Amino acid sequence: MKKESEFPFDKARRVTPVENEKFREAIAQQFNLKLRKRGRPPKEESEKYEPIYIRLHPQVLAWAKEEAKKQGIGYQTVINETLLQQLL
Q: Mind giving me the DSSP string for 35-64?
A: PPPPSPPPPPTT-----------HHHHHHH
1-48 pLDDT, tens digit each: 466 678 888 888 888 989 988 999 999 999 998 877 777 666 665 567
pLDDT score for 7: 81
49-63 pLDDT, tens digit each: 788 899 999 999 999
8 Å CB contact between 2 and 8: no
8 Å CB contact between 74 and 68: yes
pLDDT score for 50: 82
pLDDT score for 63: 97
8 Å CB contact between 51 and 42: no
- Domain residue ranges in the chain: 7-87
What's the mean pLDDT in 65-80?
92
Separation CA 46–CA 59 (nearest Å)? 32
In the predicted structure, residue 68 carries a pLDDT above the cut 90: yes
